[in-house]
Amino acid sequence: METESLKQPYSLEAEQSLLGSVIIDPPSMNEIVSAVQPKYFFLPLHRMIFSCLMAMFETARPIDAVTLLDEMKKSPEYDDSAGRQYILQLADSVPTSRHIKSYAKIVRDKYYLRTLIDVSGQTIEEASDAASDAETVIDAAEQRIMNIRGGRSSELKPIREIIGQTMDYLGKISGDDKSEFLGIPTGFSTLDNVLTGLHRSDMIIVAARPGIGKSSFAMNVAQNVAKQNKAVVVFSLEMSADQLITRMLSTEALIDNKKLRSGEFKNDDWSRIVAAVSALYNIPMYIDDSADITVPEMKAKLRRVKNLGLVIVDYLQLMTGTRRTDSRVNEVAEITRGLKIMAKELNVPLIALSQMSRDVDKRKGENSTPVLSDLRESGSIEQDADIVIFLHPENAHLSPEERPESIDMKVLVEKNRHGERAALRFKYVGKYTKFTPVTEIYTGDEPY
């Protein structure tokens, strides 16, 4: 089906009334400037007129029929024979600007419908291709529809528009309600000082050798974020949902994880468990313990979550790609790139846990400190990550059985796209699966 053969919905009257309202009442632009873009107009002349009105409004120039005509003449698309008379007609056709928001909604809705027709045509064309992969076509269709809902655009943006958005953001993060616009706190004060919270669209890698506590670290952060009434989704490819909940109860109630597995409780344990359940029962956290899940499947589930604040993937090397490849390195590259794109599209921070190679175990003394090349299949992970955090116990040479109950843990921010590297000191109590920051901190480029 050719989309050109379908009737393109638009409202000539709504487009004319919106433009006329701004001409006769320039301050009314304040009511619709954030809701309407030039591309929403169906007629090219209307797109050009609104673009000129926006340029004049942004630079605080006076707007009327005469000044608008002068601005339009600067455009190579301007036709003097039609433009002059048409501007006067627009100004005369609208008695009041009182209903400008209603005009704007009609113009925007018609644009959405036209875009949906185009998206549907692309989907039909892709689905009709015998070589197409169904999962890929579905994911692409969902993404296009989400882009319509979100009003996102892949078009080029002039720098003045981006600067305006940036200045607006800077004003918000420096205001009295700055906490609403900064990164989401992890709940660990020293880490938040370095990262300034978890920022939207960032992919954060937390890496460690097996048994060091990376899942516990991620779940501690998950609990802290969910308690801020931000929805958290955990994709656990290694542990079951029951195991994760048991760990969360252990952390919250400060009860030995072994007791929660064996049922050997003391007199006051039940009251602490009930208090922990009460604290966790209504937090907005969701767990998916599918053992085999792809990035497109994650994305489809996440799109349905409201007020999404954080995504956790535990862990990276257990994921599978959507394309067949003989190289695990290439498969991991596809996965990490997909996760990064997903974080950006959903505008949410994403923490992905990762294994480190055995090379770090072979090194002794100061050389045992992890480096970026210790990430398994490290090339793509290091490249796509915005932040890389290593968990490194002070007594790394000891086996898990030999380590003390409370472990001195270094939390190393080895890569930080937004700031400096840092070495943070934490205490990790394995029986409670709980991390606690210690105030000592080292930052900068010096060796840790």
Catalytic residue positions, numbered = 238
Query: Strands 422-429, 434-443: parallel, antiparallel or unpaired by DSSP?
Result: antiparallel
Determine the Cα angle at 344 with ends 342 and 345, to 5°. 65
Output phi, psi for 8, to 5 deg: -85, 115
Q: What is the C-alpha separation between 290 and 280, in angstroms, rounded?
A: 22
Q: List the structure tokens of 354.
A: 């990762």
Return the amino acid letter for 4: E
Alpha carbons within 13 angstroms on the beta-carbon side of residue 250 total: 24
Determine the Cα angle at 70 with ends 66 and 74, to 5°. 160
SS3 200: coil
Q: What is the C-alpha separation between 319 and 115, in angstroms, rounded?
A: 34
Q: List the structure tokens of 325.
A: 């490849």
> Sheet of 350-355: strands edge to edge?
285-288, 231-236, 308-314, 350-355, 203-208, 387-393, 406-416, 422-429, 434-443
Tell me if 220 sits within 8 A of 251, measured CB to CB: yes
Q: What is the C-alpha separation between 204 and 387, in angstroms, rounded?
A: 5
Q: What is the number of residues in the chain?
A: 448
Return the amino acid letter for 360: V
